[in-house]
Structure formats: C-alpha cells, structure tokens
Amino acid sequence: MRPQSLRSKIFLDGGDAGETRDITAILGFLDGQTTNPTLISKNPQAKERLERGGKFTEKEIFDFYRGVVKDIYELIPQGSISIEVYADPSTEADKMLAMGRDMFSWIPKAQVKLPTSKEGLKAAEQAVKEGLRINMTLCFSQEQAAAVYAATRGAKKGQVYVSPFIGRLDDRGEKGMDVIAHIIKMYRKGDGHVEVLTASVRNMDHLLCALKLGSDIITAPYAILKEWGRQGMPFPDNSYTYKPAGLEDIPYKEIDLSKNWREYDIAHDLTVKGMEKFSKDWNDLIAQPLAAR
C-alpha cells in the first residue's frame, strides 16, 4: 500500500517487466516507470538474443522496445511510462520529434524522453504544442532546468518532467542532490508546470533525501526500491540530514525564469557524454547502427 505520508510519486528505473512485477508486489503500488536505451540493452530477452548471435534490425529493436513498454503498461496501466527517443549528439530535433510522436502512441500514458540539449529543447517546444507529454532527460544543471521550464511554458501540469541525474554528478565529486534542491527552489517562483523527477539514484540516501526535499517524482532502480520495501518504506523524519562524504557543494544561482529558453547556458559535458553512451548502447543492439547512416 502507498504510505499516507508519501507525497512524491515513486517510479521504477528499468527496462524489464519482470522487475516491474516484483516491485509492484513488494511495495503494493508503483506510480510509473522510466526506461532508456541502456536499460533496454540490459533487458534479459535482449541479452539472450544477442548471446545467440543475432543482432536486431532497426525495425526489430523498436518493436522489441514497444513490446517491453506494453508489458510494463499491462502491469501498471495507471502509471506513467517514460520512453526515450534515439538521440546521439548529432540527431536533429525533427528526427527526435518523429520518433517521439510514434512512441507516444504506443501506450495511453507515455511520456517521451528527450535530451536536455539544444535539439532536444527545440523538439520539446514543439512536442508540448502538439500535446505530447515529455520527460527532459540528462539534465545536470539549474540552467538546463530553467531552459526546460521556458521551452515548455504553457504546458499543462503533468505534461513535462525534468530529470536531473544526481548519481552521475556524484560520480565526479559534485553533490548531485544540490541540483535537485536548487531546481525545486527555483521552480517555486514559477507556475508549477514542470515536475522534478529525481533520476540516476544510486543509494538509499539519494531516495530518502529526494523524499525529504519533496521531489515530485523519484525513479530508482530495482535493488533500491526492493530494499526500501524490505525496510517498510521509511520516510525521513525532521532529524534526517543528508551528509554524503567527499562531495563538493553546488551553489544555488538566482535565475530568472521569464527568459526565452535559448538565452540560458544549457551546455553540459555530461549531457553530451550521456547521449553518446545511450546511443552507443542502442547501436550495439543493431546490425546496422543508426549513427552510421
């Protein structure tokens, strides 16, 4: 059962419906799921097929992804499911949009994931006008979150998520959790049309801290949600403090949310690296990689 004190929505970060089934049974609820190309490449059926020596064609891999998403949807029909477009650093907005429109039709509550890059934001601006629900992924800074807010101004509540990746900032010694706190604080000055989805959660402290901060949504991998369930789904009380060892604080910036999205400094090397990794993992599944054409 969903704990009464829980304000955040809890999503599973994964590409295997078997995990969705387990987590739903353990927690007694699940508000949604996030997927991405790397997670799909780790799906047991995809791995088994590759081990037998057969790579996918482009059509087959999209059919496979759609099949996984539909299986997840059957298990959590009320849940939001994020589906990520293919985007390497040279993929243009129009291509992302075409893929996004198709993916949006796969299930009733799809949320199309686009990168928080220039082309991704261009696609986002158009996508919300067309009524698509989107999840802006690979966000690493307050400026990028401000650009997401500005590019999607006018969207309905629930139509736009932004996914700051905290674990990847931690990996290089920066306190990723600060970005969540700062974006939540910055968005309080806005109209509330973008929901903050804490992503790249690596440990129980990330989950507890995001709960304490009141992140709208938290997506966490199987092992962490399983452990949270095993511990009785604890919620941090007033005495809880998040004190990770050896991570440098990220300072808060006063950012005006009323500008055009193109005026914000959205460049971030981790966004580019993230797109390179997602597209590589995707292309490794395909006999004739997308990037090679």
CB of 274 to ligand G3P, least distance (A): 8
Nearer to ligand G3P, 137 or 283 (CB): 137
Paired residues of 112 in beta bridges? 83, 134
Question: Among 91, 141, 219, 271, which residue sits at the site for ligand G3P (rule: CB under 6 A)?
Answer: 219
Looking at residue 198, the DSSP 8-state letter turns out to be: E
Query: Under the criterion CB under 6 A, does residue 271 sit at the interface with ligand G3P?
Result: no
Nearer of residues 113 and 122 to ligand G3P, judged by Cβ: 113
Closest to ligand G3P by CB, 42 vs 189, is: 42
Of residues 150 and 224, the one with the C-beta less far from ligand G3P: 224
3-state secondary structure labels for all residues of the chain: CCCCCCCCEEEEECCCHHHHHHHHHHHCCCCEEECCHHHHHCCHHHHHHHHCCCCECHHHHHHHHHHHHHHHHHHCCCCEEEEECCCCCCCCHHHHHHHHHHHHCCCCCEEEEEECCHHHHHHHHHHHHCCCCEEEEEECCHHHHHHHHHHCCCCCCCCEEEEEEHHHHHHCCECHHHHHHHHHHHHCCCCCCEEEEEECCCCHHHHHHHHHHCCCEEEECHHHHHHHHHCCCCCCCCCCCCCCCCCECCCCCCCCCCCCHHHCCCCCHHHHHHHHHHHHHHHCCECCCHHHC
CB-CB contact of 103 with 110 (8 Å): yes
User: CB 199 → ligand G3P: shortest distance, Å?
Assistant: 4
Site for ligand G3P in 113-142 (CB under 6 A): none
Minimum gap (Å) between residue 175 Cβ and ligand G3P? 15
Q: Catalytic: which of 113, 122, 175, 212? A: 113
* Number of residues forming the site for ligand G3P (CB under 6 A): 9
Among 8, 20, 33, 34, binds ligand G3P (CB under 6 A): 34
Distance (Å, whole) CA 249 – CA 288: 43
Cβ of residue 200: shortest distance to ligand G3P, in angstroms?
3
Residue 118 a catalytic site member: no
* Residue 161-200 contact track with ligand G3P, rule CB under 6 A, x = bound: ----x-xx------------------------------xx
Select 134 or 255, whichever has its Cβ closest to ligand G3P. Answer: 134
Using rule CB under 6 A, residue 279 touches ligand G3P = no
Q: Which is nearer to ligand G3P, 145 or 255 (CB)?
A: 145
Q: How far is the CB of 219 from ligand G3P (least distance, A)?
A: 5
**Residue 13 contacts ligand G3P per CB under 6 A:** yes
Angle separating helix axes 176-187 and 204-213, nearest 10 degrees: 20
Write out the residues near ligand G3P by the rule CB under 6 A. Answer: 13, 34, 36, 165, 167-168, 199-200, 219
**Catalytic annotation, residues:** 113
